[in-house]
Amino acid sequence: MSTVSLKLQKRLAASVLKCGERKIWLDPNEINEISLANSRRNIARLHRDGLIIKKPVVVHSRARVNLRNEAKRKGRHTGIGKRRGTANARLPFKVLWMRRIRVLRRLLRKMRDAKKIDKHIYHSLYLLAKGNQFKNKRVLLETIHSMKTVKAQEKALAEQAVARKGRAKARLDRKAARAEKKDEDVDPSN
């Protein structure tokens, strides 16, 4: 018994069901009925009846990929032998710089707005940050504290100097007044 060619039916079914011919299943028990279908409408009717079926998509599991990615998150499989790009290609130096400078500038802005540093200290530190002076936030904070203490000391010294000058002037005034009084006391006797 020669087998009937169902090439036409397979092609039409692929077109009707919008898939490839390899995804079409033709019921082997109903070959004679399927072979009579020579139009798209007939093929659609056979599909409704279940004689022609669109096979499900073949599973392409990502389980192994997910497992490996989980391990990579923990830091596995990232040694020197697994690296293809340069360090700069994997994480650009520019990105690191941008992250760091934004952190430093944000801190400076916050401290200036909170009146913890004045605009002069802000400006000098801003330029130093731009010049790659601070490798992280901690170093910048240490510098800010040291600058503030130096400024406070200078202010205290200036106030002391002003007070000392004031006292010296008062002493001189008193001396001059005493000398004047002495002169007055001496003059009436003449």
- pLDDT tens figures, 107-141: 999 999 999 999 999 999 999 999 999 999 999 99
Contact 51, 33 (CB under 8 A): yes
Three-state secondary-structure class, residue 83: coil
Q: Which amino acid is at 30?
A: E
pLDDT for 169 equals 92
Residue with tokens 């731009």: 130
3 CB contacts (<8 Å, ≥6 apart)? Answer: 31
Give the residue-averaged pLDDT of 167-180. 90
Helix axis angle for 119-130 and 137-189, nearest 10°, is 140
Three-state secondary-structure class, residue 67: helix
| CA angle in degrees (0–180, nearest 5) for 75-76-82 | 105
Confidence of residue 184 (pLDDT cuts 50, 70, 90): confident
Three-state secondary-structure class, residue 132: coil
pLDDT for 3 equals 76
Question: pTM value?
Answer: 0.62
